[in-house]
Structure 1
């Protein structure tokens, strides 16, 4: 089964580039099948990782960034492939 973990954070105004750099520098304790980093308006950063694992597997995730960098807690979602 393929599981996708989504991690999304919103930087304080004008600090999107810093959040993006911080996100890219974060290493996971295991290597996913794929990892993609995206950005959007309002200084948002999204990271999606794909894993060959059960839906409820204990998988490594990106940590919370420093509270002084973001406007709110990170949003996290988990999805399983249906294709």
Structure 2
């Protein structure tokens, strides 16, 4: 099974590039199958990691940034892959 972990944060105003650099510099205790970094308006940063694991497996996640780098708490979601057929 493939599990995707999503981590999304909104940087303090004008600090989106700094938040993206911070996220890219974070190392996890294990390497995911894939890691992708995305950005959006309002200085938002999204990191998606894909893992070969069961849905409820404990997996390493990016931490909360310290200090004044973000405007609010990080949002986190977990998804499992499903086949691409339409029913």
Cα-to-partner distance string for 1:10-31 (whole Å, 9 max, x where unaligned): 0011000110000000000100
Alpha-carbon RMSD: 0.6
Q: Which residue of 1 aligns with 2:16?
A: 16
Distance 1:70 1:81 in 2: 29
TM-score if structure 2 supplies the norm length?
0.94
The equivalent residue for 1:27 is 27
Q: Measure, in 1, the Cα distance between the counterparts of 2:67 and 2:56.
A: 28
Deviation above 6 Å: which 4+ runs of structure 1? Answer: none
2:33 pairs with 1:5: no
TM-score w.r.t. structure 1 length?
Answer: 0.98
**Partner Cα distance (2:67, 2:8) in 1:** 14
